[in-house]
Structure 1
Amino acid sequence: MKYHGIDAQFANLVKARFPFVYIPTWEEDRALQMIYDVAENTEFFQSGREVYVWSQTTGIRKKGEAGKKNETVHPSAAIDFAEKTEENMILVLKDFHVFFGTGNRAPDYALIRRLRDYLSNSRSTGTYMKTIVFLSPVLVLPEDMQKEITVLEFPLPTADQIHSVMDDLIETNADVIQVDLDESERRSLAKAALGLTLQEAENAFSKAMVELKGLNRKAFQTVMEEKNQVIRKTGILEFIKSDLSLEDIGGLENLKKWLLKRKDSWSERAAFYHLPAPKGVLITGVPGCGKSLTAKAMSAIWELPLLKMDMGRIFSGVVGSSEENMRKAIATAEAVAPSILWIDEIEKGFASGGEATGDGGTSARVFASFLTWMQEKESPVFVIATANNIRTLPPELLRKGRFDEIFFVDLPTFSERKKIFELHIRKKICSCRAGENFVITEELLEHLARISEGFVGAEIEQVIYNALYEAFFEKRKVLPEDIEQAVAMTIPLSVTQKEQIKELREWANIRAVAATAKEDLKQYQVSEQARKEDKEGDINTSRGGRLLDF
């Protein structure tokens, strides 16, 4: 059985006499089977390799050997065994990470020293070819041995392997279940389970069979629920469920068109055009203008899982865990690919490239690993990053090759404000009993858009809520006058942060693409007072962002 070439990679390390190989994986049994297969494969080794497995509960055992634990249960005894055994061998040490220091447990420095002594002795008396494999669910490397240990990433199961598990389940339970999926749909279901371990995939299929008395199209939802569980357990990524659509976003037509043209670009159909999967977009702009809403809507339109990365969880307090958290987050996003990885307010985690933060270089290392992944990633993981203060981001993150495009979301234009008001009135007022007789007219929308010059989408939404609260307090239905009064009582962000928004526009004017459509920008209207203020450096008419027609 092939494991995406992992068997050949492992065999080459063994043949090259690498002393220590670390395989971080939750799939202990599958990894062990791969090691057994390699050791017994005469294409790799003419005389084969003997495999011994050590654990703290049983000591050292050969394949298939049973019995009570023996005198080799102590970890030092396992190293002694490796040193004294006179044969070509592979010794697998299970869960050795606990001795390297994990959580609140300090490293066992005496044991680490013993491993280093073993390495020195094996080099001086290296008659036999021996490799020690550390097999653990998490990657923990002692600083003293980082140069000696080679990490071998063990891939998650392929669609074919998952399909095989599903077929076995169907065959085993053929008398009691009904399968309403053709072969194409079965393969699609197996692909939907990519990112799960074989055990997790088997659990998902078993659960679906119990709930549905078989397998049908509803099983896809069960698989997604299992993936949600996997993501939630990481504690780093959050699975965001969204039923929004791009129609729920007022304006930003340029950005919408760009996203729609790239839908399904990770599919087999895109291969006919030699199209690479898009890397991602960076969306910056005025707070409250729909950047986060766009990420949620894109997940629904592209029909891909949306994973939100919390930078605060990445930078945890345990030394060395931040780098591991980033590696785990990236691995999870790739495991459920194709997927969308959403990094909200990216500047809070990567401002200035992580330099001069007083954390011993942790931020810089995490930033460097993220940059490398963005540049070289092959898995179809689309990154959508949002930023309010993009000026603090390092230039190496903004250059081409990291993101496909940088979009600037400005204050809504007159036309966009009309659309935003219509969306919120229809969704929040007309859908409730207090607004069942509310009439939306073109005159009303134009009037509201005119008096709300400088308002962002979030402020318009709050205006609608304030109007509802006013009607609720007076125990009556909502009136257009309630919305007008709420607008009059609101001081927009464009006033309270006028200088900051002006600086942001100046930055984006030559460095980003406008998210707003060209025709909407032409329709932008301002009052005579705003025009006078613009001459004094106001922000209302200097529209930021290059205008490209996608």
Structure 2
Amino acid sequence: MNYLVKQKRFVANLFKARFPFIYIPTWEEQRALALINDIAYDQQLIKTTRKLFTWKITEGIVGEGIRKDDTKVPVKALEFIEKYDEPAIFVLQDFHVYFGDQGRLPDLLVIRKLRDIVMSLKQSVNPKNIVFLSPILKLPQDLEKDITIVDFPLPTFTEMKQLLDEMIEVNRQTGRIEINLNEEEKEKLVKASLGLTLSEAENAFARAMVDDGKLSIKDVEVILQEKEQIIKKTGILEFISSNLNMDEVGGLENLKRWLKKRDKSWLESAQQYGLPAPKGVLITGVPGCGKSLISKAISGMWQLPLLRLDIGKVFSGIVGSSEENMRKAIQTAEAIAPSILWIDEIEKGFNGTSSSGDSGTSSRVFGHFLTWMQEKEKSVFVVATANNISALPPEMLRKGRFDEIFFVDLPTHRERIEIFRVHLKKRLNNPSVKGNFEISTENLEKLADMTEGFVGAEIEQVVINGLFEAFYEERSVQFSDFEKVSKLIVPLAVTQAEQIKEIREWASVRAVAATPREDRAEYCESNSSNMDMDIKSTRGGRAIDF
């Protein structure tokens, strides 16, 4: 059944059942009023059609040829509603200010009057309902049992597509805007706009059109910029602007292939195959091997907004606020879906959830997060990274929470070549600095040989430190610079040999290797003797290739 039809039927049933007070929290007054108006005059939905009246503090009660200026005072408005003897729906806009909001005390006279008219609304000969329509949900305790809250979701895909089609048609007629979109690209643009209000989406589409006189798939970036404004207002989530692409991540081809196959899986076309949107991945492994880097690169590959959730910001000193912060973060991520929610070093945020030192707050927040991961319907792809996987509660690792758990090990010889290639190409852009140094296969092979056991972050430091050698002596860089600095670095494979061995043992049966099978086989065959035997003897991660 169409979502809008279900929503109308649900609200209509509340009206027919004589629910006295209905509260709709939304910023989109016009959409909500249009929905209520459709219900009020639809005899098939509501049987007894009703007149629709609105109330604002600036106008009083208005509707059906009536304008009552004397009802600008809220108590007078409620008295008018109480005495009105025809079937009607009264929509009270911004009435939450009388319920106590942002430091204001509740208006006890208004609240008492509302409680007084509850029975008259229920028992009236002609049905009457009051709808509170406000951007903020605020309920006084005195009225909690009498008010029914109705969620009013943001515009659906169909509504957004209709808006975009209308704007495209208008601009085609004027001929001032060039439209360069096929159906799939249009779908991606519409999907990117989900989470905005109709007004925000209209502004974003208009801005995209006037920016360069064209509307194309490249304008997804404009939509994401509008979404960034929503994120900034939460204070809990951080919008990460990432220009990374997968080509800037050296190695990890198995994980890359898995991600590539799931690109566009949140689009309508995927539903033809009966496919659900992917839930997410947990990426664990040796520190400094690119877990955070690939998390950022997913955003560039899929062209979806990347939100970073700082678990530390969720927990605060006020009782009850931590749970609310987590709910708020989840609601925001879902509001701008499809999106990517990135939780870096998740084990630090949820470590010790079984302790009772915080009166169970951590456990409740963790439980809420797990339930959401299991049951979420919106296209929010969760990317969690962890260095110490053993610190995570076991219930987080069970199937249904993440689609897959990937293990990122020390880079293989081939991966080290790719990592060097990425960093050298990124930095050697000035001919005077590059000099006679060539990013050749021979040089890359030598660099990979001399950095066996190095993680990606250490390889990057070899490149940076080598350039510092050249910068200090005010000359072009030489191969010997990289050779010199690589000998000064003691890699994690040596300093944390025991920890890496433990991580590998855990991952060997519980996680999928991010590195493809052929690279790992080559690694084991070419391993030199400069590493500890315990480190080189095993490569963690199940041998599954995607």
TM-score normalised over the length of structure 1:
0.85
Structure 2 partner of 1:516 = 515
1:287–1:149 distance in 2 versus 1, CA, 3 Å: farther
Q: Deviations over 1:111-139 (max 9, x none)?
A: 79738844875699676654443322233
> Does the CA contact (< 8 Å) of 1:93 and 1:135 recur in 2?
yes
1:280–1:182 distance in 2 versus 1, CA, 3 Å: closer
Q: Deviations over 1:438-488 (max 9, x none)?
A: 123445434433433332111211221111112111111112222122222
Structure 1 partner of 2:412 = 413
**What CA distance in whole angstroms lies between the structure 1 residues aligned with 2:400 and 2:243?**
31
Matched, 1:385 2:381: no
SS at match of 1:207: helix
1:469–1:222 distance in 2 versus 1, CA, 3 Å: same
Structure 2 partner of 1:138 = 136
**TM-superposed deviation, 1:428:** 1.9
> Does the CA contact (< 8 Å) of 1:54 and 1:73 recur in 2?
no
**What CA distance in whole angstroms lies between the structure 1 residues aligned with 2:99 and 2:152?**
20
Matched, 1:150 2:151: no
Higher mean Cα deviation, 244-253 or 25-34?
Answer: 244-253
> Does the CA contact (< 8 Å) of 2:470 and 2:477 recur in 1?
yes
Higher mean Cα deviation, 338-347 or 36-45?
Answer: 338-347
> Does the CA contact (< 8 Å) of 1:410 and 1:544 recur in 2?
yes
Q: How many residues align?
A: 541
Matched, 1:249 2:245: no
Structure 1 partner of 2:38 = 37
Identify the match of residue 162 of structure 1 among 157, 160, 163: 160
Identify the match of residue 544 of structure 1 among 531, 540, 545: 540
> Does the CA contact (< 8 Å) of 2:186 and 2:217 recur in 1?
no
> Does the CA contact (< 8 Å) of 2:507 and 2:541 recur in 1?
yes
1:424–1:168 distance in 2 versus 1, CA, 3 Å: closer
> Does the CA contact (< 8 Å) of 1:242 and 1:299 recur in 2?
yes
Q: Deviations over 1:56-75 (max 9, x none)?
A: 4444444675564x35534x
Superposition pairs for residues 350-429 of structure 1, below 5 Å? 350-353=350-353, 356=356, 358=358, 361-429=360-428
1:218–1:284 distance in 2 versus 1, CA, 3 Å: closer
Matched, 1:232 2:228: no
SS at match of 1:44: helix
**What CA distance in whole angstroms lies between the structure 1 residues aligned with 2:500 and 2:113?**
58
1:350–1:148 distance in 2 versus 1, CA, 3 Å: farther
**What CA distance in whole angstroms lies between the structure 1 residues aligned with 2:256 and 2:323?**
34
1:133–1:310 distance in 2 versus 1, CA, 3 Å: farther
1:314–1:175 distance in 2 versus 1, CA, 3 Å: same
1:150–1:456 distance in 2 versus 1, CA, 3 Å: farther
SS at match of 1:180: strand
Structure 2 partner of 1:284 = 284
> Does the CA contact (< 8 Å) of 1:505 and 1:544 recur in 2?
yes
Percent of pairs identical after alignment? 54
Instruction: Give unmatched runs, 5+ long, in structure 2.
Output: none
Higher mean Cα deviation, 210-219 or 516-525?
Answer: 210-219
**What CA distance in whole angstroms lies between the structure 2 residues aligned with 1:152 and 1:460?**
55
Matched, 1:458 2:457: yes
SS at match of 2:195: coil
Higher mean Cα deviation, 162-171 or 130-139?
Answer: 162-171
**What CA distance in whole angstroms lies between the structure 2 residues aligned with 1:44 and 1:242?**
48
**What CA distance in whole angstroms lies between the structure 1 residues aligned with 2:362 and 2:514?**
31
**TM-superposed deviation, 1:39:** 1.7
Structure 2 partner of 1:330 = 330
Structure 2 partner of 1:479 = 478
**What CA distance in whole angstroms lies between the structure 2 residues aligned with 1:214 and 1:233?**
30
> Does the CA contact (< 8 Å) of 2:254 and 2:514 recur in 1?
yes
> Does the CA contact (< 8 Å) of 1:18 and 1:131 recur in 2?
yes
**TM-superposed deviation, 1:85:** 5.2
Structure 2 partner of 1:26 = 27
**What CA distance in whole angstroms lies between the structure 2 residues aligned with 1:453 and 1:214?**
50
**What CA distance in whole angstroms lies between the structure 2 residues aligned with 1:506 and 1:154?**
49
Higher mean Cα deviation, 320-329 or 304-313?
Answer: 320-329
1:191–1:451 distance in 2 versus 1, CA, 3 Å: closer
SS at match of 2:371: helix
**TM-superposed deviation, 1:84:** 5.8
**What CA distance in whole angstroms lies between the structure 2 residues aligned with 1:352 and 1:81?**
57
Higher mean Cα deviation, 375-384 or 426-435?
Answer: 426-435
Structure 1 partner of 2:16 = 15
Q: Deviations over 1:258-293 (max 9, x none)?
A: 112222333444344333222111111222111111
- 2:223 is matched by which residue type in structure 1? V
1:389–1:182 distance in 2 versus 1, CA, 3 Å: closer
**What CA distance in whole angstroms lies between the structure 2 residues aligned with 1:116 and 1:71?**
15
Structure 1 partner of 2:179 = 180
> Does the CA contact (< 8 Å) of 1:51 and 1:90 recur in 2?
yes
Structure 2 partner of 1:347 = 347
> Does the CA contact (< 8 Å) of 1:354 and 1:367 recur in 2?
no
TM-score normalised over the length of structure 2:
0.85
**What CA distance in whole angstroms lies between the structure 2 residues aligned with 1:182 and 1:442?**
41
Structure 1 partner of 2:266 = 266
> Does the CA contact (< 8 Å) of 1:156 and 1:197 recur in 2?
yes
**What CA distance in whole angstroms lies between the structure 2 residues aligned with 1:410 and 1:345?**
16
Structure 2 partner of 1:3 = 4
Q: Deviations over 1:311-356 (max 9, x none)?
A: 3444456655544444444344334433322222223433344753
Higher mean Cα deviation, 252-261 or 347-356?
Answer: 347-356
